[in-house]
Structure 1
Amino acid sequence: MLALVTAIAAAGHDEDLAPLLDACASAGLHARAVAWDDPTVSWQQFDAALLRSPWDYTERLPEFLAWCDRRDQQVSLLNPVHVIRWNTDKHYLSDLATFGIPVVTTTFVEPDAEPLQALQAFLGTEPAPEFVVKPTVSAGARDTQRYARAQEFAASNHVARLLDQGRGVMLQPYLPAVDRAGETALIYFEGSFSHAIAKGALLQPDAAALTAPFAAGDISSRSAGADELALGEQVLVAASRLLRLGQPLSYARVDLIRDDGGHPRLLELELIEPSLFFAQAPGSADRFAAALASRLSGDTIRARTGTG
């Protein structure tokens, strides 16, 4: 049996869950939606657990990671636990940059830094008229805000609030292409490209930071460009090498945005709990369910025979 892992706080917010349950049933895969933080769940009944919408992990990270470690002793986690640990903190962007991945320019500010000094150092090297402040552990643009250079004081207070909470901070230029064309999200199942969607801009000028761990947005289907697909493949290869993966990731979402030169850059690599936007890509839930059924069948055979 497959556990589709959500959270009590995410109840009613995961639009992918119902179609995935239906697709799993059609594929002959017995799946059930359960919350990671529900103490009544008997995890021994499951063969594997697929993280889908444990979206409150950003507020309960130590507790969530400890839960992942415990489940890893009982079931096959999808994606694996060391992938989860790596991907929960957006410092992973630095790792990918060292592999030559063109990521959106990012400056990390750690909890022991002086907020205003760190922000001024960033602005001294970054010519963009607008920039973004966000925590390194975040989902759905929670606690993320867009600022103009003239809002340095307000931005430094935002940085200070996050640092005071013991959270790392990211500073990035706000790329205006997102206002014109949004982001492109590439979705992969078992290492194979499935579909792409466009995400409209979430961050508006002078708007307050979002507080919910799940954020609605303007979502539509999109045909990915050849350069975007090439970068998506490059990102997955780099992640596989960094994480020493022996098989493809069960799922991945590669979020891209174009820079001022029109070139795609990596904004985020989502390997934990990304929305997969089945509604915008007919047949995609069935493709994912078929890929899961194939993987779990292979894992069962290997477990029975003792082969690796």
Structure 2
Amino acid sequence: MGTGRIAIVTSEEGLKRDADLPLIVDALRAGGTAAEAVAWDAEPGVWGSFDLAVVRSTWDYTDRLGEFLAWADRAADATRLQNPAPVVRWNSDKRYLLDLAGAGVPVVPTRFLAPGDGFREEDLDAADGVVVKPSVSAGARDTARYESGRTADAARHARMLLDQGRTVMIQPYLPGVERGERALVFFSGTFSHAIRKGPLLTEPGVIDNDREAHPGAAPYRPSEAEIRTARAALAAVPSPDAPLIARVDLALDGAGDPVVMELELIEPNLFLGSSAEGVERFVAAVTAESLPPTA
């Protein structure tokens, strides 16, 4: 039985490269739902023709953030948007890590520098080196790690981003990422599946915006501690309801405990090609979300 029209929101790049997209649309249609992939910057009037719009692969949003957030507000006025516009806005800047830390969620220790903030080069150092990246970014763009003692190089990177008017994140490099980053996928707050992938920043001091985003991604069974940490991150999202779609990226700290690297609520790769059950769970969550509320 159909459940109205659903837009799976993507981008021009997503229409070409999102491997999850055809799996999602085909599975929804197979279940009787009128689903369609639509770029977020399509004609503004299109959103009122859908009963639900699910944000998926809007992969250019970081380069057009103001425009994208304004779209989210307009789309939410025209239809039901998931994840909701306030959650999208909150998650669009990685300063949300401060909120997670304030809620007691274990996260990678992070210092933020806004344009105009001063800093000392020696502050950009740690025993195992540091990672420098912009607070608004995706796919590790404009990101690099620097070995301990390479403070001048790290400072040069930070100043470049600050001069562009961007907020900078400084984090200690966690050698635990070399044991694999974990990505845990949740639908409506319920754990679905996970993958483990290799480290991204394999070469110190190099900004490589063409690097593979998920090297060696393979299905993974997370530990109870990892699931517990991911759930704590989701519980700290400023929303009365669990996000329809979420991916929690974890790494291991020096003690071997999981810490949150990122909480992705806008356009995460869901690795549905590696999990037939994940596709089914996605469809079930979206279908339930699209049903009219009961009296």
Range class of TM-score, shorter chain: over 0.9
1:141-290 matches, within 5 Å, as: 141-179=140-178, 181-206=179-204, 208-211=206-209, 215-239=213-237, 243-245=238-240, 247-290=241-284
Measure how far apart 1:23 and its partner are.
Answer: 1.4
Measure, in 2, the Cα distance between the counterparts of 1:80 and 1:212. Answer: 30
Q: In structure 2, list runs of 5 or more residues that go unmatched.
A: none
1:152-209 C-alpha deviation (Å, 9 max, x unpaired)? 2221111111111111010011111111x21111111111100111021111223632
* Counterpart secondary structure, 2:263: strand
SS in structure 1 at match of 2:150: helix
Q: Is the 8 A contact 2:121 2:152 kept in 1?
A: no
Is 2:12 the partner of 1:8?
A: yes
Aligned with residue 123 of structure 2, among 117, 121, 124: 121
> What is the CA-CA distance between 1:253 and the residue it aligns to?
0.7
CA contact (8 A) 1:55 1:214 kept: no
Amino acid at match of 2:152: F
For the structure 1 residues 214 and 224, does the alpha-carbon distance in structure 2 shift closer, same or farther, using more than 3 Å as the test?
same
Question: Which letter maps to 1:134?
Answer: K
- Contact 1:58 1:139 (C-alpha < 8 Å) held by counterparts: yes
CA distance in 2, matches of 1:39, 1:207: 42
**How far apart, in 1, do the equivalents of 2:96 and 2:212 lie?**
21
Distance (Å, rounded) in 1 between the aligned partners of 2:13 and 2:219: 28
Deviation at 1:213, TM superposition (A): 10
Equivalent residue for 1:78?
A: 82
The whole-number CA distance in structure 1 between the counterparts of 2:15 and 2:100 is 33
How far the C-alpha of 1:282 sits from its partner, in A, is: 2.1
Q: 1:129 and 1:294 mapped to 2: Cα distance?
A: 46
Q: Distance in 2 between matches of 1:261 and 1:253?
A: 23
Structure 1 counterpart of 2:137, which letter?
S
2:115 is aligned to 111
- Structure 1 segments unaligned to the other structure (5+ residues): none
Note if 1:32 corresponds to 2:24: no
Q: C-alpha separation between the residues in 1 aligned to 2:121 and 2:76? A: 39
- Matching residue of 1:98: 102
Distance (Å, rounded) in 1 between the aligned partners of 2:48 and 2:121: 48
Provide TM-score, normalisation by structure 1.
Answer: 0.90
Q: In the aligned structure 1, how far is the partner of 2:211 from the partner of 2:28?
A: 26
CA distance in 2, matches of 1:156, 1:271: 30
Paired with 2:252 and 2:152, the residues of 1 have a C-alpha distance of: 28
Question: How far apart, in 2, do the equivalents of 1:215 and 1:226 lie?
Answer: 26
Partners of 1:142 and 1:214 within 8 A in 2: no
> Secondary structure of 2:287's match?
helix
Aligned partners of 2:9 and 2:38 also within 8 Å: yes
CA RMSD, 1 decimal: 1.8
Following superposition, the deviation at residue 39 of structure 1 comes to 3.3
1:45 shift after superposition: 1.3
- The one-letter code sitting in structure 1 at the alignment partner of 2:168 is V
